[in-house]
Structure 1
Amino acid sequence: MPIESVLHPSLIVPVGHVEPVPRRIRGTIGGRVVFDTRRALYVWERQAYPQFSIPVEDLVEGALHDDKHMEQRGAGPAHRHTLRVGAEIRAGSAWVWGEGAPGALRDTVRFEWDALDSWLEEDEPVFVHPRSPYTRVDALRSGSSVRVELDGVVLAEAAGCVKLFETGLPTRYYLDRATVDWTRLRHSDTVTRCPYKGTTSGYWSFDGDTASHEDIAWTYDFPTVEAHRIAGLTAFYNEHVDLRVDGFLLPRAADPGRPTRHTSAPGPVS
């Protein structure tokens, strides 16, 4: 059995890890700049991806209002604050790191991502969460054959594919649309975003004889430049279908959780 059918690289960054961000980072609310900094830090509150932590000095004056509440975050204790910019109020959406957190985080603030209307790395928007400097996303053309089945029904069969390799996630197999049996699939209104690949263009579900399987396939019509090879192709969740690659049945990957309709879904989609 090929090694790719059972293994993918693990995440290696420990929780609480802190590193400098070598990019200019900006955040806005209601068209106003909340911060503009070249001194941001990456902080890993979970292994999968980092968050930005911004020097308090680089926020617009008067933006933070102490809620007088401290809680334990992934990297240590932090004091919760409400964010106010003009008439816009984001209650309890910011945490200033306290004593017991890594020393480099002192006098920096970590925001709930959705509390800001937009985030920019240099002059490019970034969605869902910061791009990890330790994550690779490679889309490679492959002659591997792929057969997709569910409840005994063949949903797709292709003589080749584009394999998308993303650190910490199972390999995804992107197929030409002509190889998919669209008569078996039902379009859904789910939309997800990925900081590495962009915004999905469509999701599809399958109604079998005994059960319905929601959102098992997706497409990026206009992915990021780095993932351009998957443009217009369709992938199926390894976690929810039976995938045969070069004739070998792949074990189903662990379920990362379903995407959320009309909202952001970090990493698991791939």
Structure 2
Amino acid sequence: MKPVGHSEAVPRRIRAYRGGQLVLDTLGARYVWEKEYYPAYYIPEGDVRAGAPEPQTTQDGLLRFAWRDMDSWFEEDEEVFVHPRDPYHRVDALRSSRPVRVEHDGVLLAESAAPVMVFETGLPTRYYLERTSVHWDKLTASDTETACPYKGVTSGYWSVAGGPADIAWAYDFPLAAVHPIAGLVCFYNEKVQLTVG
């Protein structure tokens, strides 16, 4: 983590679209840590085009736009979700043969001997399991959708019937860096009893 106020050059091309129009395109963006956990993009004023919204912040010829004011953001040709990716944040998705058992109030929800373990800076290890190892009769689909700058947009969430909401999720089409989790289901460690061998 970088301290609040830290700034450095972004080595990637940054683009944003609004209303179907390219409104900024730059090779000169800067990361500025306004919050402890991730940076913001600051864009040179000369790289902003007509149709861009009003910036939230201006500083030494650089502009920061509200993420939500753009329809989409890109680093090179890869879409970025929620906020800029922290270049010092790491996410590894590793296949494992460690047995994983997931229960809620003594009811078995899933059991697998072939999880994909996701190790992400600052978060607990997450265990993604094959759909065939999940006891679907114990879960109900929900309409929840979330996005992560490191994994992508979720394709499904599930709740325990009569229990906690949104206890499990999946990314059917995750970002390339975590491709091994594609189509697998993960349960919130904090909402279940998780046993890992």
Alignment TM-score, normalising by the size of structure 2: 0.93
Shift of 1:31: 2.2
Equivalent-residue separation in structure 1 for 2:102 and 2:40 (angstroms):
36
Equivalent-residue separation in structure 2 for 1:241 and 1:230 (angstroms):
20
Equivalent-residue separation in structure 2 for 1:230 and 1:143 (angstroms):
15
Task: State whether structure 2 residue 186 is matched by structure 1 residue 235.
Answer: yes
What corresponds to 1:137 in structure 2? 91
Instruction: Return the match for 2:57 from 95, 98, 101.
Output: 95
Within 5 Å, give how 1:122-133 maps onto structure 2: 122-133=76-87
**Does the 8 Å contact 1:93/1:115 carry over to 2?**
no
Within 5 Å, give how 1:20-169 maps onto structure 2: 20-60=9-49, 85=51, 90=53, 94-97=56-59, 106-169=60-123
- Whichever residue aligns with residue 19 of structure 1, its letter is E
Q: Deviations over 1:98-133 (max 9, x none)?
A: xxxxxxxx2211111010112121222211111111
Identity %: 58
Equivalent-residue separation in structure 2 for 1:199 and 1:125 (angstroms):
11
What corresponds to 2:7 in structure 1? 18
**Does the 8 Å contact 2:91/2:119 carry over to 1?**
yes
Shift of 1:231: 0.9
**Does the 8 Å contact 1:188/1:202 carry over to 2?**
yes
Equivalent-residue separation in structure 2 for 1:15 and 1:236 (angstroms):
32
Q: Deviations over 1:22-57 (max 9, x none)?
A: 011111211222221111011112222211111122
Which region of structure 1 is more displaced relative to structure 2, 180-189 or 50-59? 50-59
SS of the residue aligned with 1:214? Answer: coil
Shift of 1:198: 1.5
Shift of 1:19: 1.2
SS of the residue aligned with 2:180? Answer: helix
Within 5 Å, give how 1:195-210 maps onto structure 2: 195-208=149-162
What corresponds to 1:174 in structure 2? 128
SS of the residue aligned with 2:43? Answer: strand
Q: Deviations over 1:63-119 (max 9, x none)?
A: 6xxxxxxxxxxxxxxxxxxxxx2xx8x5x652113xxxxxxxx22111110101121
What corresponds to 1:69 in structure 2? none
Name the Cα RMSD after superposition.
1.6
Equivalent-residue separation in structure 2 for 1:179 and 1:147 (angstroms):
10
What corresponds to 1:213 in structure 2? 164
Equivalent-residue separation in structure 1 for 2:58 and 2:173 (angstroms):
37
SS of the residue aligned with 1:215? Answer: coil
Equivalent-residue separation in structure 2 for 1:128 and 1:182 (angstroms):
30
SS of the residue aligned with 1:239? Answer: helix
Equivalent-residue separation in structure 2 for 1:126 and 1:185 (angstroms):
30
Q: Which consecutive unaligned segments of at least 5 residues does structure 2 have?
A: none
Equivalent-residue separation in structure 1 for 2:15 and 2:82 (angstroms):
15
**Does the 8 Å contact 2:55/2:63 carry over to 1?**
no
